């Protein structure tokens, strides 16, 4: 495989009803149980919509951390919250139509080096968000340790 392409492989095995065991092939990562919400499933694990929101939020938080460290910052613990909006389409099928993510910095923005550059570029490092955005709107907000909303980057 070239440097321009990578693959990630997973295997799923149904354990009961809508519950599956996810195996992350060729890794030491522990298996993950997924399930649909009741009444269809038994809430034994996150459902695919929750995993999608988790993937976007986790990727954004990791990308923000990467960008902060790129400019020699040593930020405190980051937090993130995600809200996925599901809407019925023209065929009355549920679809994820928006994911809103709020990232929480532990530090005041003024104490972080090059925070304007960090905010301007961190989303671009996020593989998952940039991939999902091709079909789903993703809103991102960053708050500093004092609760202030940091300005969004100008998208050109």
| Domain limits for position 38 | 7-45
Do 122 and 72 belong to one domain? yes
Do 127 and 101 belong to one domain? yes
Do 74 and 103 belong to one domain? yes
Do 36 and 66 belong to one domain? no
- The CATH number for 104's domain is 3.30.300.20
Determine how many CB atoms are found less than 10 A away from the CB of residue 34. 19
Do 55 and 127 belong to one domain? yes
Do 19 and 79 belong to one domain? no
Is the pLDDT assigned to residue 153 strictly greater than 80?
Answer: no
Do 72 and 136 belong to one domain? yes
CA distance 81 to 79: 7
Do 56 and 40 belong to one domain? no
Distances (CA, A) of 153 to 7, 45, 137, 142, 150: 31, 35, 16, 11, 9
Q: What is the pLDDT of residues 69-112, one digit of tens each?
A: 999 999 999 999 999 999 999 999 999 999 999 999 999 999 99
The pTM (predicted TM-score) of the whole model is 0.87
Mean pLDDT of 7-25: 96
Is the pLDDT assigned to residue 136 strictly greater than 90?
Answer: no
């Amino acid at each position: 495989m070239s440097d321009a392409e990578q693959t990630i492989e997973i295997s799923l095995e149904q354990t009961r009803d809508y519950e599956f065991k996810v195996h992350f092939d060729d890794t030491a990562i522990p298996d993950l149980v997924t399930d649909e919400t009741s009444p269809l499933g038994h809430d034994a694990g996150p459902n695919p919509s929750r995993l999608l929101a988790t993937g976007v939020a986790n990727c954004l938080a990791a990308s923000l951390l990467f960008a902060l460290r790129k400019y020699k910052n040593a930020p405190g613990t980051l937090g993130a919250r995600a809200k996925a909006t599901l809407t019925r389409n023209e065929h009355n099928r549920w679809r994820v139509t928006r994911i809103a993510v709020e990232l929480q910095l532990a530090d005041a923005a003024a104490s972080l080096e090059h925070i304007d550059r960090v905010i301007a570029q961190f989303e671009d490092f996020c593989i998952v968000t940039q991939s999902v955005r091709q079909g789903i709107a993703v809103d991102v907000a960053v708050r500093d340790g004092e609760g202030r909303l940091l300005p969004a980057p100008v998208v050109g």
